Amino acid sequence: MPLILGSTSAYRHELLSRLRLPFDCMRPKVDETPRAGESPLALATRLALAKAEDVAARQPGAWVIGSDQVAELHGAPLGKPGGREAAIAQLAAMSGRSVVFHTALALARSGQPALQTVDRTVVVFRDLHGDEIARYVDAEQPFDCAGSFKCEGLGISLFEAIRSDDPTALVGLPLIATARLLRSAGYALP
């Protein structure tokens, strides 16, 4: 069965490669604008499903993985910063606080009901000082990462603790859940 990752994220590609299944990547055509009043959890869930279904509609017969991650601070979503000043501001706002990362996952195939799940990871940030935030941002330039850090790199030094059932979820694709959904769809995994 053909498998497609509905994403062009290098992080998700690397993670899915760990399962040693052949797959292709395809960019989903999805508007990622949050809807009025939409919670971070609802946004992540809606976008993961929309990404999977969009690619599945264009690739009949293939199973498509869609994933989306939304960080939540005090009930509000934190997006990708896109630049240095926004990344510094995000990290300053998260200093000394707990931030919830909702990583939604959908596995879709045209003409079949999608399989879905969401991982909830809580990251507790240390008290961060302005100079160390700036040094971190300049070193890793995490402008394409929700929450302005790369936990698989130097970003781990910003944390007090991580609470999650799946350590890969924070990087962008919860592999425990991905493997479970793929087995449900008939893929042979260990």
Mean predicted confidence (pLDDT) in 45-65: 97
Residues composing the chain: 190
Q: What are phi and psi of 167, to 5 degrees?
A: -65, -20
- At 96 the pLDDT is 97
- What tens digit of pLDDT does each residue of 165-178 get? 998 999 989 999 99
Under a CB-based contact definition with an 8 Å cutoff, are residues 172 and 9 in contact?
yes
Q: Which one is predicted more confidently, 1 or 84?
A: 84
Q: Of all residues in the chain, what percent carry a pLDDT higher than 70? A: 100
For the annotated catalytic residues, the residue numbers are 68
What is the token pair recorded at 171? 């990087």
**pLDDT tens-digit profile of 86-98?**
999 999 999 999 9
Q: What percent of the chain has pLDDT over 90?
A: 87
Tens of pLDDT, residue by residue over 97-145, are: 999 999 999 999 999 999 999 999 999 999 999 999 999 999 999 998 8
Q: Which has more pLDDT, 147 or 187?
A: 187
What integer pLDDT is reported at residue 157 of this predicted model?
93
Q: In this predicted structure, what is the pLDDT of residue 146?
A: 82
| Token digits of residue 169 | 């979820």
Among residues 32, 13, 142, which one has the least CA distance to residue 90? 142
Q: What is the pLDDT of residue 79?
A: 83
Give the pLDDT score at 139.
96
Confidence of residue 69 (pLDDT cuts 50, 70, 90): very high
CA gap 143, 140 in Å, rounded: 9
Domains defined along the chain, listed by start: 3-184 (3.90.950.10)
Whole-number pLDDT of residue 127 = 97
**Residue 24 vs residue 172, higher pLDDT:** 24
What span, in angstroms and rounded, lies between the C-alpha atoms of 64 and 60?
10
